[in-house]
Amino acid sequence: MKAMILAAGRGERMRPLTDTTPKPLLPVAGKPLLTYHLERLARAGITEVVINHAWLGAQIPAALGNGERWGLSLRYSDEGDQALETGGGIHKALPLLGDAPFLLLNGDIFCQLEWPTLPSLADGDLAHLYLVPNPAHNPEGDFALAEGRVGVDGPQRLTYGGIALFHPALFAACQSGHFSLVPLLKDAMAQGRVSGSRYDGLWCDVGTPQRLQQLERQLDGV
């Protein structure tokens, strides 16, 4: 299985830190945020990883190289100066990802999830999402999880954790350009083709300097 890390966002809410550094390269407890993802992917046995980039994007391959220090093979999807959003970025990278399901990680999250076994998609499913308890900045959640299936509405609403398994067929009807992943997921949910898991461990959407500071305090206590 291959993996993709989304690392192309501008990080407006993280300014001024992101005026000179891409958000996924910001240090967390002494290491770039992206490094934690690469270490966990390597431990899970995933060796081929695609990373997209846009804002200050040349810094990312300059910092990570070809991935050999982690036992990985890294390839990069350059989106130029303007990020293609989540859906558009994944669609552009599909030639690097192949025809099989792939693991997707948001580059601006911190998560201690380890994979003793990697998820798999049931026949006909297009996605498997990892959902987390709703953080303070997203109290209403994103999607509902019930008996391993994910829908738009339901009593147990949770937050999409920025970790998922996707089948390339999710993007079969898409055209190149800027577009969000969310409408594709909602369409797949309406068809009953999205499964999910709940993760209750340490997770953080590192979206603001305040959250970054909070995460570092949490890690100091681990």
Please give the full DSSP string across 129-173, using - where no structure is assigned: EEEEPPPTT-TT-SEEEETTEEESS-SSEEEEEEEEEE-GGGGTT
Confidence band for 222, pLDDT divided at 50, 70 and 90 = low
Confidence band for 221, pLDDT divided at 50, 70 and 90 = low
Topology (CATH) of 2-220:
Spore Coat Polysaccharide Biosynthesis Protein SpsA; Chain A (3.90.550)
- Higher pLDDT: 81 or 93? It is 93
Q: How many CB atoms lie within 10 A of CB 141?
A: 18
Q: Give the DSSP letter of residue 104.
A: E
pLDDT at residue 52, as a whole number: 96
pLDDT at residue 17, as a whole number: 75
Q: What is the pLDDT of residues 18-52, one digit of tens each?
A: 788 888 998 888 899 999 999 999 999 999 999 99
Is residue 171 over pLDDT 70? yes
Mean pLDDT of 123-127: 96
